[in-house]
Structure 1
């Protein structure tokens, strides 16, 4: 582990993941965490591991970005004390909060545009363990990072704004100053490369997920496609089981009627 990005979602995390990959780092962004390490992260949030687990999780990874890693960046740093930490931030808290709201649901009745989320979650639990685990992971991330948890992921403005302020204050106060870069992705390559001792690339600095339009990196897109495949496989398997059960019931009813 060489780089730990401590910025919250909507601080340029997709841009940062892409930039680090362009600089030659292997990066775990949110899609990779959710797909490849989902069960381990749920156990971490349930208190079943200490920070030594990160040495195993990230033995072949150079950098982490976004949730859930940013929620426990300090513990990852304890496991990899020589890592550099990047705290991404926006021009203002209001700008960050507006962007956050444009990406995530603002209504108590919806979550990411999904009405009656508790019913949806129950169906997921029945039909697709992969998708159910994905949502449980997201909700546990929400609690760890923003301090609240509910069946819906509606936004609590007070707690969300407090989390943004708390994250910045905590990172600045805990991280050794010679290992910390406070950074706005609008600054481009120069401060980032200087901090990481990397030569300036001859290509333009990436700017992804502008105006809350999700733009996945090729690796992120690949991992999300794998998640979709896992969900399809789950549903097909459960559908076969339900089909056999239904046929068994029908056969049982017919047997009792005609014997």
Structure 2
């Protein structure tokens, strides 16, 4: 059962938040990158993107928290389905967010080169359906449109989520506001500062290497 719902778009520090939540005991935390290791989840998210029925208990079986896409696309469903869960909206300057997203996760998603493994192929298909065609209507390369979607999303979360359930959070804020919001002690370790592009590249290499090893 989800106890924490991340409502911030990818490239707003979601991988750092994932690491922080797991350090605080709210793991495992669902994140797009995890599907490299759990490809069985991909069809469920594709079904959700296509408007099919979704069993959220099945989707999040074994998880205590969720951040990043694909979950953030369905934040309203999750907020309603888990009324006791707290909601964290990670935020960032819109222009810096757009520049980062376009140079990293969007570029990887639209790369025309053949996917090196079936899992990566399926993940790219799912991300297009959920994020690039779904969240952004196929217009992500229109910077003004994409940033408008970003701002309107953040405004909707602020407007629709009960303020007592919601933390608007910048990764630079560190442990104090996050731990106060979740009512847990501040850990005696530095706040995680993870770059999900680097982490993605690392996990991608591990996945491809593992796939090649099992087929040789």
Q: Which residue is equivalent to 2:199?
A: 215
Match of 2:70 in 1: 68
TM-score norm. by structure 1 comes to 0.72
Structure 1 alignment gaps of length 5 or more? 106-110, 238-259
CA contact 1:130–1:230 (8 Å) conserved in 2 = no
Q: Secondary structure at the match of 2:80?
A: helix
Equivalent in 144, 164, 185 of residue 150 of structure 2: 164
Q: 1:224 to 1:17 in 2, by over 3 A?
A: farther
- The two structures have a TM-score, normalised by structure 2, of 0.85
Q: Equivalent residue of 2:5, what SS?
A: strand
- Closer/same/farther in 2, CA of residues 193 and 39 from structure 1, 3 Å limit: same
Match of 2:138 in 1: 148
Q: 3-state DSSP class of the match of 1:112?
A: helix
Aligned residues: 210
Structure whose CA Rg is larger: 1
**Preserved contact between residue 148 and residue 159 of structure 1 (Cα < 8 Å):** no
Partner of 1:241: none
Paired with 2:133 and 2:25, the residues of 1 have a C-alpha distance of 32
CA distance in 2, matches of 1:81, 1:187: 26
Structure 2, unmatched stretches of 5+, are none
Q: How does 1:96-245 map to 2 (within 5 A)?
A: 96-104=97-105, 111-112=107-108, 117=112, 120=113, 123-124=114-115, 128-141=117-130, 142-148=132-138, 155-209=141-195, 213-215=197-199, 221=203, 225-226=206-207, 229-230=210-211, 236=215
1:15-68 Cα offsets, whole Å, 9 max, x none, are 101111111121111112454211110111112214xx1112213211101110
Show the counterpart of 2:42.
Answer: 38
Tell me the equivalent position of 2:17. 16
- Give the root-mean-square deviation of aligned CA atoms: 2.7
Q: 1:94 to 1:226 in 2, by over 3 A?
A: closer
Q: Structure 2 vs 1, CA of residues 114 and 143 (structure 1 numbering), >3 Å: closer, same or farther?
A: closer
